[in-house]
Structure 1
Amino acid sequence: MRYISTRGAAPDRDFAGVLLAGLAEDGGLFVPQRWPHFSAEEWRALRGLPYPALAARILAPFTERSIDAATLQRLCFDAYGSFTHPAVAPLVQLDQDLFVQELFHGPTLAFKDIAMQLLGRLFDHVLAKQDGHLTIVGATSGDTGSAAIEACRDRARLDVVILHPRGRTSEVQRRQMTTVLAANITNLAVEGSFDDCQDLVKAMFADAPFRDALRLSAVNSINWARIAAQIPYYAAAALSLGAPDRAVSFAVPTGNFGNVLAAWAARRMGLPVARLCIGANRNDILPRFLSGNDMSLRDVVPSLSPSMDIGVSSNFERLLFELLGRDAQVCARIMTGFRESRRMAVPDAAWLEAAKLFHGTSLDDDATRAEIRRLHDKTGYLADPHTAIGIAAGRAGAIPGVPTVAMATAHPAKFPDAMLAATGRRPDLPPHLADLYTREERYRLVPNDLAAVEDAVRAATLKNAA
Structure 2
Amino acid sequence: MKYISTRGNAPELAFDEVLLTGLAKDGGLYVPKEVPQFTLEEIESWRDLPYTELAHKVIYPFVEGCVEADALKQMLEEVYNNTNFGHKAIAPLQQLDHNEYVLELFHGPTLAFKDFALQLLGRLLDYVLEKRQEKVVIMGATSGDTGSAAIEGTKACQNVDIFILHPYGKVSEVQRRQMTTVVGDNIHNIAIEGNFDQAQDMVKASFGDQSFLRGERKLVAVNSINWARIMAQIVYYFYSSLNLGGPLRPMAYSVPTGNFGDIFAGYMARKMGLPIEQLIIATNENDVLHRLMASNLYEVHSLKHTITPSMDIAVSSNFERLLFDLYDRDGLALADLMNQMADRTQSIELSEEKLAKARDLFDSLAVNEEATVETMKQVFDESGYLLDPHTAIGVKAARECRRNANIPMITLGTAHPVKFEDAVNRGGFDMPKLPHHLSDLMDREERLEVLPADLKTVQDFMAQNTFKD
TM-score by length of 1: 0.98
**For 2:446, which of 441, 447, 464 is the aligned residue?**
441
Contact 2:258 2:313 in 1 (8 A): yes
Per the alignment, do residues 71 and 159 of structure 1 end up closer, same or farther by CA in structure 2, a change over 3 Å counting? same
How many angstroms apart in 2 are the aligned matches of 1:222 and 1:150?
A: 19
How many angstroms apart in 2 are the aligned matches of 1:365 and 1:377?
A: 18
SS in structure 2 of the partner of residue 93 of structure 1: strand
1:460 aligns with 2:462: no
**For 1:400, which of 402, 405, 421 is the aligned residue?**
405
Look up the match of 1:237. 240
Look up the match of 1:132. 134
1:97-135 alpha-carbon deviations (Å, 9 max, x no partner):
100000000000000000011000000001111111110
Structure 1 segment 57-456 matched on structure 2, within 5 A: 57-81=57-81, 82-210=84-212, 212-340=215-343, 341-398=345-402, 399-456=404-461
SS in structure 2 of the partner of residue 242 of structure 1: coil
How many angstroms apart in 1 are the aligned matches of 2:370 and 2:329?
A: 40
Mean alpha-carbon deviation: is it higher for 52-61 or for 415-424? 415-424
Q: Which amino acid aligns with 2:167?
A: P
How many angstroms apart in 1 are the aligned matches of 2:86 and 2:430?
A: 23
1:14-60 alpha-carbon deviations (Å, 9 max, x no partner):
11110011111111100000111100111011111110111111001
Gaps spanning 5+ residues in structure 2: where? none
SS in structure 1 of the partner of residue 427 of structure 2: helix
How many angstroms apart in 1 are the aligned matches of 2:85 and 2:290?
A: 33
Q: How many aligned positions are there? A: 464
How many angstroms apart in 2 are the aligned matches of 1:108 and 1:224?
A: 21
Contact 2:93 2:102 in 1 (8 A): yes
How many angstroms apart in 2 are the aligned matches of 1:99 and 1:460?
A: 46
How many angstroms apart in 2 are the aligned matches of 1:344 and 1:181?
A: 45
1:50 aligns with 2:55: no
SS in structure 2 of the partner of residue 94 of structure 1: strand
The runs of 4+ residues in structure 1 deviating greater than 4 Å are none
How many angstroms apart in 1 are the aligned matches of 2:43 and 2:384?
A: 34
Mean alpha-carbon deviation: is it higher for 22-31 or for 318-327? 22-31
How many angstroms apart in 1 are the aligned matches of 2:47 and 2:153?
A: 28
What is the Cα deviation at residue 345 of structure 1?
4.0
Contact 2:394 2:412 in 1 (8 A): yes
How many angstroms apart in 2 are the aligned matches of 1:172 and 1:102?
A: 19
Q: Which amino acid aligns with 1:202?
A: K
1:322-353 alpha-carbon deviations (Å, 9 max, x no partner):
10000101111111111124434422211121
Look up the match of 1:35. 35
TM-score by length of 2: 0.97
Contact 1:254 1:280 in 2 (8 A): yes
Look up the match of 2:12. 12
Per the alignment, do residues 456 and 347 of structure 1 end up closer, same or farther by CA in structure 2, a change over 3 Å counting? farther
Mean alpha-carbon deviation: is it higher for 404-413 or for 201-210? 201-210
Q: Which amino acid aligns with 2:32?
A: P
Contact 2:5 2:29 in 1 (8 A): yes
